[in-house]
A and B are shown apart, each in its own frame.
Chain A
Amino acid sequence: MRISVYRYNPDTDKKPRMQDYEVKTFQGMMLRDVLLEVKKQDESFSFRHSCGEGVCGSDAVNANGRNVLACVTPISELKSPILVRPLPGRPVIRDLVVDMSQFYEQYRAVKPYLVRHDPAPEQEILQSPEERDKLDGLYECILCGCCSTACPSFWWNPEKFHGPAALLQAWRFLADSRDQATEERLDALEGPYKLFRCHSIMNCVEVCPKGLNPTRAIGHIKELMLDKGL
């Protein structure tokens, strides 16, 4: 099988190029296996990867124009020849490795941690199964960045718009019955950019490798803001 991979090394290359490799395939081969095979042929090729089972979120790449997590993407689902590029909209460090610092900054900006004002009880803070169910579809995010780097609003305003991944976490804490910072969280999301640059294009939902729905979470935040405003 032939695969075409984006190559750029700032130490040696003036400009990026696509490079072809011939890779032997096997039953059940994932895109990450292909990239590992390329790395075996050419050690100068760099990409991030680790767990190989879709939980660490390291190996998000763009394959045939779509953001995917390489380790859980069977090549049988990809049209040949496979074109692999770095995640779009982020500065390229080298080959498939992009600079994700702005993505992480936006994540940190939503204060993604439980805030409690009450003194902690001796045992657990009680939460009913129904209350806990509200966190399903939110806490599972692996911060791979497939969603935010597929979002046109994030492409245009990555320094001002939080982006789908960060906003999913904003809702994860707003939705947690144990959290006591609803007002502060909503106040912090005011303004034309941080939240409201989302135009429900839904690319995020389309590409999320964990099947999560940031657009819906953003909708819930907007509803809650309206409720509070009334």
Chain B
Amino acid sequence: MSLPTRHFDALIIGAGGAGLNAALQLASADLRVAVVSKVFPTRSHTVAAQGGVNAALANVLPDSWHWHMFDTVKGSDYLGDQDAIEFMCREAIPTVYELEHAGVPFSRLDDGKIYQRAFGGQSQNFGGDQAARTCAAADRTGHAILHTLYQQNIRARTHFFDEFFALDLVRDAEGVVCGALVLEIETGEPLLIESKATLLATGGCGQVFRTTSNAHINTGDGMAMALRAGVPLMDMEFFQFHPTGIAGKGMLITEGTRGEGGYLINKNGERFMERYAPRAKDLASRDVVSRAIVTEVKEGRGCGEHGDHVMLKLDHLGESVVSKRLPGIRESSKIFAGVDPVVEPIPVFPTAHYAMGGIPTDRFGRVAMPAGQGSEEVVVGLYAAGECACASVHGANRLGGNSLLDILVFGRLAGKDIIDFVRENPYQRGTDSASLDQAMARLTRWDQQGEGIPVAQMRADFRKCMEDHAGVFRTEEVMQEGFERLCELRERMPEVRLADHSKVFNTARIEALELENMMDVGLSIAVSALHRQESRGAHSRPDYPDRDDQAWLKHSLYSKDGDRMDYKPVRTKPLTVESFPPKERVY
């Protein structure tokens, strides 16, 4: 049987903001570009981003990219690479204008410019007054951006492979990545896509936790593909818990609610953030606000029958602000929490939200591997951008409004770099049969018949374990136990069986393949977290409560082979400006 094969200049896996912005650059340059997505592109999780995208346009208050850079470095708890951060904050401005020109329906100010709102961790003048840097389309900014990018890709005639699941990367005889084996979900048939360059833009992995703001599709597929290809994952211990998920459910309530003037209260009606962040209050960084909420609940000041959440108060803003600036939130609150925020507060609790870590790349989206003695080399022809990648601009904690920015800037730049790469490497490499067999084995493994552990049961056990042992509370004991439990689950993976072996639109098979990906990515989080003996940003350890720059101002690198940890230095030198040295982080 010969495998059907297609050829493209560039293969992009994932059709969220990063993948589609890269595709747009490539298609506009008349390259043949294929976008493979396991869902129809506008179903990608970028669609759920609410609050907005940061850029120092200074439309509302004075601003500069340099202040944005300072806030991002500080927000990262000094773990972000300052060259990549400078680059992102400078590029933010033309990137947002380009999107506006492409048709994004941003909300507007009276003078016709793009509306910008305040978000957490933003300041003027290097730590001064609150800034307003987040460009918004009401509270549906991700939806507006994703649809616009898809629409522009229609114009540019990008080739879409909708509802195709990427199984694994394939390599040529020299070991160079030359495409991917994918599965057409509708027919259940495999397809080989060979390409001169391949971009992983598969998004996040929030589904590894039981309660999450992330969609069903966010299973870390690209991260796991990288791990299996021998690429380590960087800084995976830093997982952001968004302060305001709907309590008990996890659906996101944008930080924009607090940017518009909303605030959190405990059961006594106290605006408790004043105690934790006297200056920034409810607009402190996300890690700070999430920890404050958990502390309030732990100390018995939580709301509700079980005292297990706090309240987000918006009713003082008035009906017009809520329905004009936060219409989606009002809708979600009514549907999922049964409250209208115009009249009563929303019950909220932190929810697993965003992976700061990912596939290590340089600032052009090129995947970078450690090459011994602290040096690095680029993996030829392989790129990563968006949440699955780590450039690293978020360090230990991402600022709100910087994720849409990250995917757009680095998606765009990866696209541009691939154009150059393909010009310099115009010939297609041929897939090595051993590499193809390996990728194929991922599919055939699930043809095994007979009794076994059901996928759904293994997935539930795994996600519960991650939530209990790699969540907000991270002591040595809790994490060690979690690691051991995860190893047990991993060892039992070969016993997992599918009952349904049919071909046509078999979602059970897709979920089995996703489970394998989640397991690999979950272990990278648990192992990286266990090793980092300090508290920094989102990684908070009661047994090591302080940040330790002496020992730990470095990036973690987790390799699947032997659950091995390695480290590399933080790039503290920006491109053109002075470095921001680590300081105590107060808001």
Contact = CB atoms under 8 A, between A and B. Distances in A.
A215 to B, nearest CB: 21
Given A40-B456, A93-B186, A140-B140, A56 B101 contact: no
Contact of B108 (A122, A129, A139, A143): A129
A120 interface: yes
A44 B508 contact: yes
A201 B217 CA distance: 36
Given A120-B101, A124-B113, A104 B40 contact: yes
Interface string B178-218: 00000000100000000000000000000000000001110
A124 B48 contact: no
A216 interface: no
B502 interface: yes
Contact of B251 (A40, A48, A52, A173): A52
Interface size on B, as a range, is 35 or more
Interface string A25-48: 000100000000001100110111
A127 B499 CA distance: 56
Contacts of A140: 140, 143
Contacts of B42: 56-57, 142-143
B198 to A, nearest CB: 24
Most buried by B among A40, A51, A139, A176: A51
Contact of A46 (B107, B336, B506): B506
A11 B112 contact: no
Interface stretch (A16-24, A107-115, A150-158, A220-228): A107-115
B34 interface: no
A128 B108 contact: yes
A124 B110 contact: no
Contacts of A11: 502-504
A97 B186 CA distance: 9
Contact of B39 (A50, A139, A178): A50
B494 to A, nearest CB: 18
Interface in A33-75: 39-40, 43-44, 46-58, 72, 74
Nearest to B49: A55
A56 B502 contact: no
Interface stretch (B1-9, B146-154, B221-229, B363-371): B146-154
Interface string B93-113: 000110011110111111111
Given A126-B112, A139-B144, A44 B505 contact: no
A132 B113 contact: no
Contact of A114 (B102, B455, B508): B102
A74 B113 CA distance: 40
Ranked nearest first, the 8 interchain pairs of A and B with the lowest CB-CB distance are: A114-B103, A126-B112, A113-B151, A43-B508, A11-B502, A44-B500, A94-B505, A56-B43
Interface of B: 39-40, 42-45, 47-48, 57, 96-97, 100-103, 105-114, 137, 140, 143-144, 147-148, 151-152, 154-155, 186, 215-217, 249, 251-252, 328, 331-332, 335-336, 338, 454-456, 498-500, 502-508, 511
24 contacts: A9-B502, A43-B455, A43-B499, A43-B500, A44-B502, A49-B216, A51-B216, A53-B251, A55-B140, A56-B43, A57-B42, A58-B40, A94-B504, A94-B505, A111-B154, A112-B151, A112-B154, A113-B102, A114-B102, A125-B101, A129-B109, A132-B108, A142-B143, A176-B103
